[in-house]
Structure 1
Amino acid sequence: MKFGFMPDVDLGSQVFDLAFNPKHNIVYTGLLNGHIKAFAYDDQGTCTSKFDLRPTKRSARSLVVDMEGLELYSVSKDRSIHVIDTSTGKIVREQAQAHESAINRVTRFMSMLATGDDNGVVKLWDPRQISPIRSYTHHFDFISDFLWLQDKKQLVTTSGDGTLSVIDVRSSKVEPFAHSEDQEDELLSIVSIKELIAHSEDQEDELLSIVGIKDGKKVAVGTQTGIISIWNRTSGWADCVDRLKGHPHSVDALATLSEDVIVTGSSDGLVRVVQVLPNKLLGVIADHGTFPIERLRTDRNGAWLGSASHDNVLKLTDVRDALVDSDEDDSDKGESDDSKEEGESDGNIDNDSDSGSKEGGNENEPAMEQDGETDESDSDSDSDKSETHTESDSEPEPQPEPVSSKKGKRSQPEGPSNKKGKVDSGFFDEL
């Protein structure tokens, strides 16, 4: 079975973010030294440079491409927003001092642009002139990730203050539609699973990343303590309905491979594949050594997984054979899955459940456990929470030293629409 990596591309500086063009095989990278580099790639793994520009001398923290693939949006530690023509690599619009503090995340949806900064402020913009629409101040710590819910026209945000919130962008109110309880952990990343969205209670942990799974009916959130919390959109946004533990370190980045399979990027440098509901660790597909993973993205065809870390390289992993079609499998389990969604009675998404899948795809990896707290949090979480980058205002070219993986957390997950399929176990046998 074919599986492989594109040769690593040395970028000469730490990678903060990456984004794929939705129309062409082009990937963009935002670097610590302010450079934005674009590369074209093919199915055989050949990568060639398209352009290299430096809108600012401060770090390019987050990137997003519009749906037509015509414009690339970049936000920086110097509080600026730059719009770049993807065909020429030239800056076409910019907004200096767009926030009062460094901008950490950007995403594009409908006819709007959203940005989130280190103080928890979220702003909506008209991208045509980069003119402000409204601001939200309900978070008090850095915005780590965004997830756009197309069906509800709502924007989900995760924050280092331990909560997630849901913003109805159609409303003129400057308060969120919903705000979660404190999760007692930093929320770092988010993806949609089975696909749906309000502001949660404080999760008492930094919320670092977010993705949607299970056709968007649920979302998965990565946290500082290594727990992945599962949220059911139909149950509201006050609190999560399930917690998956098994990652020894923080889950800083998330992306989806299928409706029930996600990839996780951790501060231990490993990119893992995890099945959700039922929960199972399936294997490790990429390794950045001891460097934390800053971002995970899948390209427009779901063929390549991009991962960014502090090792100064762009790593693209071929995941075309990670999934195999399983229409028969889906039909067999359809009825049981529906009953789970209704009753949540099998222990997979019950808050009070101590049961769960203990199997792992790798002997050396801990099994994915449900609804439990990790024994100890990342020892650097307190200092990382108020991260200071290694950049210096007085130095024209910052050195690519390792920085915290808490700031610069990912923008909205991109990649293919949720595909039905299962993971081919043989995919991991070849690793």
Structure 2
Amino acid sequence: MTLDFRDFDKDSSDDSSSDLGEDSDINDDMSLSESGGEDEEDAGNNINQEENLDNCDDEDEVVKAIKAEKTKPRDHPPSIKCEDFIVDISFHPNKNIIGLANIVGDVLLYEYNNDETKLINTLELHTKACRDIEFDDEGLIMFTTAKDKAIMATDVETGKLKQCFENAHEEPIYKLISLDSNKIVTGDDCGTVKLWDMRKQNPIFSLKIGEDYISDMITNEAQKYLVCAGGDGMLTSIDLKGSKIYTSSEQYESELTCMGLFRSESKLLVGSSVGKFYLFNWKEFGLHSDEYVGQKHSIQCMIPITQNIVVSSGEDGILRAAHMFPQRQLGIVGQHSLPVEALDISHDGQYIASCSHDNDVKFWNIAYFESIDTMIDVNHKQNKKKDMINNLPSSNIKNASDFFSGLA
């Protein structure tokens, strides 16, 4: 069952994670990047893993790369621990700044480096849970939306409000994406999508595309089509130029929760609440071309790392990496003790950040993916016995086979 935070407001912030179950396989695991080192037991496990790898015949280049990276220190910013539940996170597009949107309607801006994370501004923007935060491409404007139905545009440098649309939707707004410094798209709890020009008081268009919440929206560089994933299990694309629905997919068995673009924006990957990935060709949104089992729990969020590699996470708190072309599980990037709500990647591709129901934000150094990506042999058959040893460098989960425990 997917936990729904659309109903959260200030009154529920104190017990927002009281009913959440912890995954017994990862409760006691802390990441190497979090602790800064290993204890004796972890060191012993790593030695055993290295010996097992050495005993494997025909060791491939990906395994060698992972082994080599494990011997290097993982440089990354320290974690951020917050007082309130973090609903969404967003990296600045060209500065070492990350924005955190919380359940009481505030946005916290942090500067980060390998030594510290420093709070530089707290913006009290919304009266209810701030559900989405996005920067424009230049990083000058920060857009936010919330359960209070308001849309706000804030100057990042000064923290001053530039534009505000109160009651922008009849229902609480669930998702927002930025098209440029002036245009944004919003989707609400009841399937309505609106395109806005921040210089005008009224939306350019408003379309009712479903009856359930808009979980995610995505477009490519051309910005001709906007693809919307919904809680009703439908994938709907909108012709932004023509202000009309382009296609609607078949209805899937579960909620469609998140999306990412790959292969020079020619492939669209969609995650679901039953742990499946669906792969679509761009512009062919009616029916998926392939599907994969990603995990046994709900996939709540994903982030493309390279043209071929995705990191996803969700209810079990584990960040998993997979190569999609060909489909191959790579290992565990990192972990939280409670479900992960959002992921994002830094402007330089050095880190991903994840926020969980523990009210924390963790950083993971993922620069090594660039070298691993180029080593995947499309003709090489995956050896799961080997790959069960291949926890990625940013993680120290003791039993790497946990990664594959729910994969059919």
Q: TM-score, normalised by structure 1?
A: 0.71
Larger helix proportion of the pair: 2
Preserved contact between residue 149 and residue 156 of structure 1 (Cα < 8 Å): no
CA RMSD between the two structures? 2.3
Residues 165 and 4 (structure 1), Cα distance of their counterparts in 2 relative to 1, 3 Å cut: same
Preserved contact between residue 2 and residue 321 of structure 1 (Cα < 8 Å): no
Preserved contact between residue 308 and residue 373 of structure 2 (Cα < 8 Å): no
Name the residue aligned to 2:141.
71
Q: Note the 1:153-192 alignment, pairs <5 A.
A: 153-172=224-243, 175-192=244-261
Cα separation, 2, equivalents of 1:365 and 1:64: 31
Name the residue aligned to 1:250.
298
2:356 aligned to which of 304, 309, 330: 309
Residues 97 and 183 (structure 1), Cα distance of their counterparts in 2 relative to 1, 3 Å cut: same
The answer to whether the aligner puts 1:220 opposite 2:269 as a matched pair is: yes
Residue 233 of structure 1 and its aligned partner are, at CA, apart by: 2.2
1:37 aligned to which of 99, 102, 108: 108
Preserved contact between residue 217 and residue 227 of structure 2 (Cα < 8 Å): yes
1:229 aligned to which of 275, 278, 299: 278
Residue 356 of structure 1 and its aligned partner are, at CA, apart by: 8.3
Q: Which amino acid aligns with 1:28?
A: G
The answer to whether the aligner puts 1:109 opposite 2:179 as a matched pair is: yes
Residue 136 of structure 1 and its aligned partner are, at CA, apart by: 1.1
Unaligned 5+ residue runs, structure 2?
1-71, 391-399
Larger Rg: 2
Output one character per residue of 1:79-129: Cα deviation in whole Å (capped at 9) or x when no partner.
001111100122221111100111011001145210000101110000234
Name the residue aligned to 1:60.
130
Q: Note the 1:20-419 alignment, pairs <5 A.
A: 20-42=91-113, 44-110=114-180, 111-129=182-200, 131-151=202-222, 153-172=224-243, 175-194=244-263, 215-233=264-282, 236-289=284-337, 291-324=338-371, 360=388, 361=390, 362-366=400-404
Cα separation, 2, equivalents of 1:84 and 1:14: 22
Identity of aligned residues (%): 27
Preserved contact between residue 81 and residue 95 of structure 1 (Cα < 8 Å): yes
Q: Which amino acid aligns with 1:282?
A: L
**Aligned with 1:131: secondary structure?**
coil
Preserved contact between residue 296 and residue 406 of structure 2 (Cα < 8 Å): no
Cα separation, 2, equivalents of 1:181 and 1:259: 27
**Aligned with 1:22: secondary structure?**
coil
**Aligned with 2:254: secondary structure?**
strand
Residue 4 of structure 1 and its aligned partner are, at CA, apart by: 4.5
Residue 130 of structure 1 and its aligned partner are, at CA, apart by: 5.2
Residues 164 and 225 (structure 1), Cα distance of their counterparts in 2 relative to 1, 3 Å cut: same
**Stretch deviating more after TM superposition (128-137 or 138-147):** 128-137
Q: Which amino acid aligns with 1:10?
A: K
Cα separation, 2, equivalents of 1:187 and 1:41: 32
**Aligned with 2:368: secondary structure?**
coil
Name the residue aligned to 1:417.
none
Cα separation, 2, equivalents of 1:160 and 1:38: 30
Residue 321 of structure 1 and its aligned partner are, at CA, apart by: 2.5
**Aligned with 1:365: secondary structure?**
helix
Cα separation, 2, equivalents of 1:309 and 1:276: 25
Larger strand proportion of the pair: 1
Cα separation, 2, equivalents of 1:5 and 1:245: 30
Unaligned 5+ residue runs, structure 1?
195-214, 337-345, 347-354, 375-431
Moved over 3 A (4+): 355-362
Preserved contact between residue 262 and residue 308 of structure 2 (Cα < 8 Å): yes
Output one character per residue of 1:190-246: Cα deviation in whole Å (capped at 9) or x when no partner.
00111xxxxxxxxxxxxxxxxxxxx22111111000111111226x21111111114
Cα separation, 2, equivalents of 1:165 and 1:322: 32
Residues 279 and 367 (structure 1), Cα distance of their counterparts in 2 relative to 1, 3 Å cut: farther
Cα separation, 2, equivalents of 1:33 and 1:148: 29
Residues 130 and 248 (structure 1), Cα distance of their counterparts in 2 relative to 1, 3 Å cut: farther
Cα separation, 2, equivalents of 1:218 and 1:176: 20
Q: TM-score, normalised by structure 2?
A: 0.75
Cα separation, 2, equivalents of 1:127 and 1:299: 26
Cα separation, 2, equivalents of 1:272 and 1:357: 17
Cα separation, 2, equivalents of 1:133 and 1:326: 41
Cα separation, 2, equivalents of 1:108 and 1:305: 20
- Aligned residues between the structures: 324
Cα separation, 2, equivalents of 1:60 and 1:49: 18
